[in-house]
């Protein structure tokens, strides 16, 4: 059984000092693994994320994470895969705050098949 507390700790371990928050991605009232699609906008640079993450599960599809710039087209779309080949994850995001300012964040996932935790996206 996947440890959601383990996923939260993994996410927070990726961040520096400060107050940390964690939000599990949910698209229904139930906690279900999601197929995640990363959609990037033109001009994306490492740690300067502009785009969205779409989650699909239990017949529902919706945006679970977004930082979109108005009027900028999407340039790529990638389904997130684990090294074991699975595309099903329990996922969420954590952010580090110093003096009420978000310093950095990370999107993490725990593979529903092999239970490997991995960083999907880092941003600042």
pLDDT tens-digit readout, 102-115: 677 899 999 999 99
Q: What is the mean predicted confidence (pLDDT) over 70-82?
A: 93
The pLDDT of residue 123 is 80
Quickly state the pLDDT bin for 42 (edges 50, 70, 90).
Answer: confident
Burial readout 14-39 (b: 16 or more C-beta within 10 A, e: otherwise): bbeeeebbbeebbbeeeebbbbbbbb
Domain that holds residue 25: 4-123
Give the number of domains in the chain: 1
The pLDDT of residue 26 is 94
């Amino acid at each position: 059984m996947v440890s959601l507390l383990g996923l939260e700790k993994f996410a927070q371990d990726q961040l520096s000092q400060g107050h940390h928050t964690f939000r599990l991605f949910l698209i229904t009232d139930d906690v279900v693994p999601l197929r995640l699609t990363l959609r990037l906008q033109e001009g994306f640079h490492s740690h300067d994320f502009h785009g969205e993450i779409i989650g699909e599960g239990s017949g529902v599809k919706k945006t679970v994470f977004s930082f979109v710039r108005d009027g900028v087209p999407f340039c790529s779309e990638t389904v997130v895969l684990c090294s074991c080949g699975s595309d099903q994850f329990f996922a969420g995001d954590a952010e580090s705050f110093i003096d009420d300012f978000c310093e950095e964040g990370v999107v993490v996932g725990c593979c529903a098949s092999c239970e490997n935790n991995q960083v999907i996206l880092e941003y600042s």
